[in-house]
């Protein structure tokens, strides 16, 4: 805090209260938050979903999102009171003096216009720069953000540019009017670790160079540690604590903050393959697969999963992890190779498999929202597989559903008759697990089950999965891009890149050097809780050797 | 003279009151009406002012009835439904009220109508009096009784045809979305073929081939209108079949019928109900048109479309009798559209959840 003088206060939020409209009444969602941001300071907002991070971020622009309203408090931006300013006054600030970088750049760029046209829109509109001048400035910014071909990339359409580049182009766009304040709303959450790192480095550099103040919103502590000077922890619309980054990491004061910090500590003992030579539960042998008419997505993929073990499949998006799962379940018949279940070959398509074969392999999905039918009651969602496979009905079925709800630690009396939209994300994911368990399988595919969840909730799910594995002897194929998850739950690791298995083996071997080059890149790209991690890494690898550049 | 004076006094007093209580839009409306009335009063005299006052009164009456009816519905329905109804705009409530009235008229026609539907009670084209509320038609039958019975026949037939159309369209749409491949293509092209022929011409053609029995009309109209339902259902279901829960059900080994009934249908009911209302209007108009052309419901059965045709000559004598069944058709169509608009608005997610 000492490095910023009090007279340089840029944004001063006092006792901010915001109401949200739900069930025809206004309920408070931000309950009195104070925030002081100095020029050149980067403040990190951190908290679970629903903590009000994004709402506060929008409020810093004087913007109340749809269905919300300011109820009291003041937002003072550079001497100007935003909560009472007229819409025209506030609009004049946005884009020119306050800029916003959204989570999904792909969804935020207009796909019908070239990047540079969208970049120059704000400066031309505010008459800050002439169009050509602004274009040249864009190229300079692209260069500073280390985008490839800075003089040419702006003339592409958003779909012609990769996700990480798009996110950097968006940061450049936010910079186009040299704003005093930029709000980053989870800019790297949707990116792979290897891509995330280049975006982080670029954002940090440019914020430093122009002495821009920033509010950095994320739920990932390790990322926050790299970016922020001060960190503010939020919980349910209230501030838990605020500290400078070093202090916050070393010595958190509040219990809630400590629990956030402790999330990554969960680790269970690693299991070894059975040594008696028994057949693997699932054996994937030399699988090639392609979507209709397309190029090969999987190329000679083979690995084994033994009973009661967890095999983590890791890799960037597009590496073929989920496709492998689709091949195993039979949704995508392989063009070559076979899947063996306990030594017996499985028919390639799910339609040719027997009910018994289908029962043995269940799936848990990433997005619990789309994985549960919103118009079906919980008891029917869980009850249907039990009814379908075991022929249970009446009281026996009800008892089975109650058992399953107990297993996933939800109170049967309370949740039996609910519908999925009434549940929270973590609860929905638990229902998804219960549905898989209802079939009494020996093998479950977990497709990114924790990546859409908050860290605390995700940890609860991991612990639950671990307990179920112990109790029921399940084998998991755990698809993830999050190496922290792998570290905590996996027994064996399969690393995939471009549809090929790059390296595989027991976890302890995989996490100790020497690695395959790609594994090494993946491992070293995972942010750590050390605030100097990014700086050290950049020094080691060199700024031009991170992200996409390093994967080629 | 007193009327005009009272009229202006009332308008100016109410606009002052609106201004005093800071009801901005109400004030603007009332006061601009006052200004317009000055012009209209000078040009059209007291008659024009009376006309304005009557229309405003009718509008207010309709709004009042709709409001009361909405409150009534809110009171008698389940809590979850009542919550939805509370958000309904007045137009939707008005639509529901009209539909309710028509339903009552149709169901209790024999008790409401003073005479039988084909009973000849007086001379042709008898004037209106207290026994014949709307006069008599070209055969001396009571027009009011025929309107009431017409509600039963025309609306009932249209309802039947719409139900059939929605069932055919929805089922084939759901099947096409689930099965995909050649079946999807076959159904899609069949729908294109049916839709490519203008509906009225197609119906006339079919009716002249198969005759004009009631069940033939129902089936033909249903077939003509099912492709629209098919298209909508297929599009809606197409978005649902890619969901993970459908994949989960498929991997469980569930059959197509289970997928359609338990997984897809509950998620597509809202647009289907809205489509039902919309289709109902089209079907109703088509049947009325067919009747008007003499190929629909056959005499002596009372039917609004044929009533318009039978009494059409009266128009040249300045008699509004043929406009009454036409008005009944228009009112019902507008009412159904009001309700459907509201439902579409709800299901399209235009409002925040």
pLDDT digits (tens, 9 = 90+) for A300-325: 888 888 888 889 898 877 788 888 88
Average pLDDT score, chain A: 82
pLDDT value for A1: 46
User: B96, B88, B98: which is closest to B330 by C-alpha?
Assistant: B98
Cα dihedral A433, A439, A442, A447, rounded to 10, equals -40
Structure confidence at residue B351 as a pLDDT band (50, 70, 90): very low
pLDDT digits (tens, 9 = 90+) for A91-146: 888 878 888 888 777 788 888 888 888 888 888 888 888 888 888 888 888 887 77
Residue found under tokens 């419901």: B297
Q: Would you say A126 and A96 are in contact if contact means Cβ atoms under 8 Å apart? A: yes
Average pLDDT score, chain B: 86
- pLDDT average, residue stretch A419-433: 86
Q: Is the pLDDT at A342 greater than 70, yes or no?
A: yes
User: Edge-to-edge strands of the sheet including A344-345?
Assistant: A296-305, A282-290, A336-341, A344-345
* Cis amide bond preceding B300, omega within 30: yes
Strands A9-22 and A68-77: antiparallel
Facing residue for B244 by CB, picked from A24, A350, A365: A365
Q: Is the pLDDT at B12 greater than 70, yes or no?
A: yes
State the DSSP H helix or E strand holding residue A352, giving kind and residue range, or none if neither. Answer: none
pLDDT value for B196: 93
Q: Which range (A439-448, A452-461, B218-227) has the least confidence?
A: A452-461
CB atoms near residue B81 (< 10 Å)? 12
Give just the sign of the alpha carbon dihedral A119, A108, A220, A20: positive
- Work out the minimum CA distance from A64 to partner chain B, whole angstroms: 15
Q: Is the pLDDT at A188 greater than 90, yes or no?
A: no
Percent of chain A clearing pLDDT 70 (strictly above)? 95
The 3-state DSSP class for residue A503 equals strand
pLDDT value for B174: 92
Q: Which range (A284-293, A466-475, B131-140) has the least confidence?
A: B131-140
Name the burial class of residue A426, with classes exposed (0-12), middle (13-18) and buried (19+) by CB atoms within 10 angstroms of its CB. Answer: buried
Structure confidence at residue B234 as a pLDDT band (50, 70, 90): very high
Size of interface A-B (CB pairs under 8 A): 54
How far is the C-alpha of B165 from the C-alpha of B159, rounded, in Å? 10
Contact A371 B250 (CB under 8 A): no
Q: Would you say A32 and A3 are in contact if contact means Cβ atoms under 8 Å apart? A: no
The 3-state DSSP class for residue A47 equals coil
How far is the C-alpha of A262 from the C-alpha of A460, rounded, in Å? 12
B245 near A CB under 8 A = yes
- Work out the minimum CA distance from A432 to partner chain B, whole angstroms: 10
How far is the C-alpha of A285 from the C-alpha of A471, rounded, in Å? 29
Q: Would you say A424 and A432 are in contact if contact means Cβ atoms under 8 Å apart? A: no
Q: Which has the higher per-residue pLDDT, A63 or B60?
A: B60
How far is the C-alpha of A463 from the C-alpha of B309, rounded, in Å? 77
pLDDT value for B183: 92
B248 near A CB under 8 A = yes
* Residues near A58 by beta carbon (within 8 Å), at least 6 away in sequence: A64, A65, A183
Contact A358 B248 (CB under 8 A): no
Buried b (16+ CB within 10 A) or exposed e, B310-341: bbeebeeeeeebbebbbebbeebbebbbbbbb
Instruction: Give B267's contacts in chain A (Cβ within 8 Å).
Output: 373-375
Strands A238-244 and A443-447: unpaired
- DSSP, residue by residue, B52-94: HHHHHHHHHHHHHHHHHHHHHHHHHS-HHHHHHHHT--HHHHH
* Residues near B14 by beta carbon (within 8 Å), at least 6 away in sequence: B30
- DSSP, residue by residue, A198-244: HHHHHHHHHHHHTT-EEEEEES-HHHHHHH-SEEEEEETTEEEEEEE
Structure confidence at residue A546 as a pLDDT band (50, 70, 90): low
Q: Which has the higher per-residue pLDDT, A545 or B153?
A: B153
Structure tokens at B155: 């609306």
Structure tokens at A188: 């790297």
Structure confidence at residue A544 as a pLDDT band (50, 70, 90): low
Q: Would you say A142 and A169 are in contact if contact means Cβ atoms under 8 Å apart? A: yes
Structure tokens at A139: 């190229």
Structure confidence at residue A47 as a pLDDT band (50, 70, 90): confident
Alpha helices in A79-192 (DSSP H): 87-93, 105-108, 115-125, 131-144, 163-175
Structure confidence at residue B166 as a pLDDT band (50, 70, 90): very high
A375 near B CB under 8 A = yes
Structure confidence at residue A276 as a pLDDT band (50, 70, 90): confident
Structure confidence at residue B229 as a pLDDT band (50, 70, 90): very high
pLDDT value for A3: 59
Bridge partners of residue A443, in order along the sequence? A361, A475
Q: What is the pTM of this model?
A: 0.77
Q: Would you say A436 and A364 are in contact if contact means Cβ atoms under 8 Å apart? A: yes
Percent of chain A clearing pLDDT 90 (strictly above)? 1
Residue found under tokens 């941001």: A37
Instruction: Give A329's contacts in chain B (Cβ within 8 Å).
Output: 251
Structure confidence at residue B350 as a pLDDT band (50, 70, 90): very low
User: A90, A78, A108: which is closest to A213 by C-alpha?
Assistant: A78
How far is the C-alpha of A144 from the C-alpha of A147, rounded, in Å? 8
Q: Would you say A511 and A487 are in contact if contact means Cβ atoms under 8 Å apart? A: yes
Maximal CA-CA distance, chain B: 82
- pLDDT average, residue stretch B11-29: 87
pLDDT digits (tens, 9 = 90+) for A386-424: 888 888 888 888 888 988 888 888 888 888 888 888 888
Q: Which range (A116-125, B96-105, B316-325) has the least confidence?
A: B316-325
Q: What are the distances in angstroms from CA A345 to CA A300, A311, A337, A339, A407?
A: 17, 20, 10, 6, 32
Contact A331 B266 (CB under 8 A): no
Contact B266 A66 (CB under 8 A): no
pLDDT value for A550: 55
pLDDT value for B167: 93
Q: Could you write out the three-class secondary structure of B177-190?
A: HHHCHHHHHHHHHH
A27 near B CB under 8 A = no
Tell me the CA end-to-end span of chain B in Å, nearest whole number: 55
Structure tokens at A22: 């739900």
pLDDT value for B352: 38
Give just the sign of the alpha carbon dihedral A129, A132, A138, A141: negative
Facing residue for B245 by CB, picked from A66, A371, A388: A371
Structure tokens at B254: 């569930």
Q: Which range (A371-375, A437-441, A545-549) has the least confidence?
A: A545-549
Interface with A, mutate which of B241, B247, B248 (most A CBs under 10 A): B248
Instruction: Give A374's contacts in chain B (Cβ within 8 Å).
Output: 267
HSE-CB at B97 with a 13 A cutoff on CA atoms is 19
Q: Is the pLDDT at B230 greater than 90, yes or no?
A: yes
pLDDT value for B194: 92
CB atoms near residue A211 (< 10 Å)? 11
Facing residue for B247 by CB, picked from A21, A66, A331: A331
Q: Is the pLDDT at B164 greater than 90, yes or no?
A: yes
A435 near B CB under 8 A = yes
Q: Which has the higher per-residue pLDDT, B237 or A70?
A: B237
Q: What are the distances in angstroms from CA B79 to CA A231, A269, B86, B87, B94?
A: 45, 52, 10, 13, 21
The structural domains of chain A, ordered by start, are 10-90+229-260 (3.40.50.300), 282-512 (3.40.50.300)
State the DSSP H helix or E strand holding residue B31, giving kind and residue range, or none if neither. Answer: helix B24-76
User: A495, A446, A489: which is closest to A309 by C-alpha?
Assistant: A489
Domain residue extents for chain B: 2-86, 105-347
Cα dihedral B300, B306, B309, B314, rounded to 10, equals 60
Q: Would you say A106 and A158 are in contact if contact means Cβ atoms under 8 Å apart? A: yes
Helical pair B265-292 and B214-241, crossing angle rounded to 10 deg:
150
> What 8-state DSSP symbol labels residue A269?
P
Q: Would you say B4 and B49 are in contact if contact means Cβ atoms under 8 Å apart? A: yes
User: A392, A452, A43: which is closest to A214 by C-alpha?
Assistant: A43
> What 8-state DSSP symbol labels residue B127?
P
Percent of chain B clearing pLDDT 90 (strictly above)? 23
Q: Per CATH, the architecture of B105-347 is what?
A: Orthogonal Bundle (1.10)
Percent of chain B clearing pLDDT 70 (strictly above)? 98
pLDDT value for B353: 35
Instruction: Give A375's contacts in chain B (Cβ within 8 Å).
Output: 266-267
The 3-state DSSP class for residue A388 equals helix
> What 8-state DSSP symbol labels residue B128?
P
Q: Is the pLDDT at A173 greater than 70, yes or no?
A: yes
pLDDT value for B98: 92
Strands of chain B, DSSP E: none
User: B333, B315, B307, B318: which is closest to B144 by C-alpha?
Assistant: B307
The 3-state DSSP class for residue B257 equals helix
The 3-state DSSP class for residue A57 equals helix
Counting every residue written for chain B, the total comes to 353
pLDDT digits (tens, 9 = 90+) for A193-242: 777 887 888 888 888 888 888 888 888 788 888 888 888 888 888 888 88
CA A395 to chain centre: 41
């Amino acid at each position: 805090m000492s490095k910023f003088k009090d007279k340089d206060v840029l944004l001063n939020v006092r006792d901010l209260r915001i109401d949200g409209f739900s069930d025809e009444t206004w309920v408070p969602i931000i309950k009195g938050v104070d925030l002081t941001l100095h020029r050149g300071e980067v403040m990190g907002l951190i908290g679970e979903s629903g903590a009000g991070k994004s709402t506060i971020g929008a409020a810093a622009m004087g913007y109340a999102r749809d269905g919300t309203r300011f109820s009291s408090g003041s937002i003072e931006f550079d001497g100007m009171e935003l909560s009472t300013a007229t819409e025209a006054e506030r609009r004049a600030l946005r884009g020119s003096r306050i800029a916003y970088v959204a989570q999904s750049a792909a969804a935020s760029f207009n796909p019908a216009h070239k990047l540079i046209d969208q970049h120059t829109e704000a400066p031309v509109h505010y008459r800050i720069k002439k169009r050509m001048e602004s274009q040249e400035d864009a190229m300079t910014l692209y260069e500073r953000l280390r985008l490839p071909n800075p003089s040419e990339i702006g003339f592409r359409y958003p779909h012609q540019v990769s996700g990480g580049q798009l996110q950097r182009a968006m940061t450049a766009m936010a910079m186009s009017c040299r704003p005093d304040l930029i709000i980053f709303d989870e800019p790297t959450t949707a990116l792979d670790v290897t891509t995330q790192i280049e975006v982080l480095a670029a954002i940090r550099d440019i914020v430093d160079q122009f002495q821009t103040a920033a509010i950095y919103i994320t739920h990932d502590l390790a990322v926050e540690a790299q970016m922020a000077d001060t960190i503010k922890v939020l919980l349910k619309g209230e501030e838990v604590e605020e500290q400078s980054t070093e202090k916050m990491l070393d010595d958190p004061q509040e219990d809630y903050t400590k629990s956030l910090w402790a999330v990554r500590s969960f680790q269970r003992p690693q299991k070894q393959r059975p040594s008696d030579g028994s057949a693997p539960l699932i054996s994937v042998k030399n699988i090639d697969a392609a979507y209709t008419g397309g190029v090969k997505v999987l190329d000679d993929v083979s690995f084994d999963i033994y009973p009661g073990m967890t095999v983590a499949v890791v890799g960037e998006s597009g590496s073929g992890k989920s496709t492998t799962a689709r091949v195993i379940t039979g949704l995508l018949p392989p063009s070559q190779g076979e899947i063996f279940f306990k030594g017996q070959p499985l028919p390639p398509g799910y339609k040719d498999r027997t009910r018994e074969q289908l029962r043995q392999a269940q799936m848990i999905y990433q997005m619990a929202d789309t994985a549960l039918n919103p118009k079906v009651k919980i008891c029917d969602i869980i009850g249907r597989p039990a009814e379908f496979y075991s022929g249970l009905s009446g009281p026996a079925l009800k008892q089975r559903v109650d058992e399953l709800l107990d297993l996933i630690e939800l109170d049967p009396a309370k949740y039996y008759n609910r519908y999925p939209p009434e549940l929270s994300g973590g609860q929905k994911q638990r229902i998804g697990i219960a549905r898989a368990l209802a079939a009494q399988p020996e093998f479950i595919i977990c497709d990114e089950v924790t990546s859409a969840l908050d860290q605390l909730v995700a940890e609860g799910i991991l612990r639950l999965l671990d307990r179920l594995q112990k109790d029921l002897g399940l084998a998991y194929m755990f698809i993830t891009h999050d190496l922290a998850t792998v570290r905590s739950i996996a027994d064996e690791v399969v690393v995939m890149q471009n549809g090929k298995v790059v390296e595989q083996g027991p976890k302890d071997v995989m996490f100790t050097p020497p690695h395959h080059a790609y594994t090494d890149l993946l491992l070293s790209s995972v942010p750590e809780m050390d605030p100097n991690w990014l700086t050290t890494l950049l020094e080691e690898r060199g700024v031009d050797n991170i992200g996409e550049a390093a994967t080629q | 003279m007193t009327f005009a004076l009272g009229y202006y006094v009332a308008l100016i007093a109410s606009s002052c009151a609106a201004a005093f209580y800071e009801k901005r839009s109400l004030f603007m409306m009332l006061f601009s009406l006052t200004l317009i009335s000055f012009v209209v009063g000078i040009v059209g005299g007291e008659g024009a002012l009376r006309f304005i006052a009557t229309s405003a009164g009718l509008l207010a009456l309709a709004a009042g009835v709709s409001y009361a009816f909405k409150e009534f519905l809110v009171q008698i329905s389940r809590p979850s439904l009542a919550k939805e109804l509370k958000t309904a705009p007045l137009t939707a409530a008005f639509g529901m009220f009209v539909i309710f009235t028509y339903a009552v008229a149709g169901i209790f026609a024999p008790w409401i109508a003073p005479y039988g539907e084909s009973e000849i009670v007086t001379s042709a084209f008898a004037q209106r009096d207290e026994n014949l509320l709307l006069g008599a038609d070209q055969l001396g039958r009571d027009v009011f009784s025929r309107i009431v019975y017409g509600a039963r026949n025309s609306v009932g037939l249209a309802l039947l045809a719409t139900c059939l159309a929605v069932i055919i369209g929805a089922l084939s749409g759901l099947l096409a979305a689930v099965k995909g491949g050649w079946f999807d293509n076959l159904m899609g092209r069949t729908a294109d073929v049916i839709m490519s022929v203008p509906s009225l011409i197609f119906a006339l053609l079919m009716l002249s081939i198969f005759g004009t029995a009631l069940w033939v009309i129902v089936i033909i109209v249903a077939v003509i209108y099912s492709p629209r339902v098919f298209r909508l259902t297929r599009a809606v279901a197409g978005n649902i079949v890619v969901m993970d829960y459908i994949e989960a059900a498929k991997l469980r080994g569930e059959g197509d019928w289970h997928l359609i009934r338990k997984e897809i249908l509950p998620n597509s009911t809202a647009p289907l109900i809205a489509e039902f209302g919309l289709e109902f209007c089209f079907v109703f108009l088509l049947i009325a048109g067919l009747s008007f052309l003499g190929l629909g419901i056959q005499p002596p059965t009372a039917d609004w479309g044929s009533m318009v045709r039978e009494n059409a000559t009266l128009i040249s004598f300045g008699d509004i009798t043929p406009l009454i069944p036409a008005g009944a058709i228009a009112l019902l169509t507008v009412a159904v559209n009001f309700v459907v608009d509201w439902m579409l608005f709800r299901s399209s997610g235009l409002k925040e959840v």
